Amino acid sequence: DTGVSQDPRHKITKRGQNVTFRCDPISEHNRLYWYRQTLGQGPEFLTYFQNEAQLEKSRLLSDRFSAERPKGSFSTLEIQRTEQGDSAMYLCASSWVLTSGRATNTGELFFGEGSRLTVL
Amino acid sequence: GQSLEQPSEVTAVEGAIVQINCTYQTSGFYGLSWYQQHDGGAPTFLSYNALDGLEETGRFSSFLSRSDSYGYLLLQELQMKDSASYFCAVRGNTGGFKTIFGAGTRLFVKA
């Protein structure tokens, strides 16, 4: 397995257009996360999946954002009617988390190289 | 909710030791992680503390005090390649153990 891969690496779009990003996690990982990162800031949590179930979505996330993880494998993040404020690096990460009662491992996140979105 | 505070920038010389502090507030806490990110690269995992005390991994060590909601990352024998951003991240025991990141500390290593 070559790690977490994201596609496309760069996307330039005009305001109002829809964009979709894809993430292929490490195959044996059960968790998949989406984060957004702007210059000089840390990764901001957007949403995450446990297998195919979306367990949480950030309250800061607009309804224009939607994510799916069909069959618990790859995931897509779609942004509808993009705005200039959506310009950022969109990071995907996967991990293996034990969640039976308590987490007993580090939950180390393995990040992809990200998809950089520029909205003109 | 969860929040983390860490210094925005630290500068040190090659060969020195530097400590990056992190304080956190969270409604549920399970562990504190540290990640490194070079410009243009992805964050990579450095260390994790679930219990009080010091964890050592080569030149890097991480410390946690749960009672003080405080941790630090210690980098020894600094090298130019250590110039990067360092993020502390809290893993909560609510919300499915998700990881929330701080804003990061930019480390500049000078010759």
B98 to chain A, closest Cα gap in Å: 8
Query: Which B-chain residues 1-40 have CB contacts (< 8 A) with chain A?
Result: 30-31, 33, 35
Handedness of CA A20, A30, B73, B1 (dihedral sign): positive
Handedness of CA A56, A58, A64, A65 (dihedral sign): negative
Cβ–Cβ of B95/A56 closer than 8 Å? yes
> For residue A96, what pLDDT is reported?
86
Q: Which residues on chain A are in Cβ contact (under 8 Å) with B100?
A: 45
| pLDDT tens sequence across A62-110 | 899 999 998 888 999 999 999 999 999 999 999 987 765 555 677 799 9
* Cα gap A26→A28, rounded to integer Å: 6
CA end-to-end span of chain B: 41
| B40 contacts: CB under 8 Å, gap ≥ 6 | none
The H-or-E segment that residue B11 falls in is strand B9-13
The chain A residue lying nearest B104, using CA atoms, is: A42
A111 to chain B, closest Cα gap in Å: 6
Mean pLDDT across chain B, nearest whole number? 93
Q: Which residues on chain A are in Cβ contact (under 8 Å) with B91?
A: 103, 107
Q: Which residues on chain B are in Cβ contact (under 8 Å) with A43?
A: 43, 87, 101
| pLDDT tens sequence across B70-100 | 999 999 999 999 999 999 999 876 666 788 9
Q: Which residues on chain B are in Cβ contact (under 8 Å) with A108?
A: 33, 45, 48
CA–CA distance from B35 to each of B46, B85, B102 (Å)? 5, 8, 10
Q: Which of A42, A55, A110 sits opposite B87 (nearest CB)?
A: A42
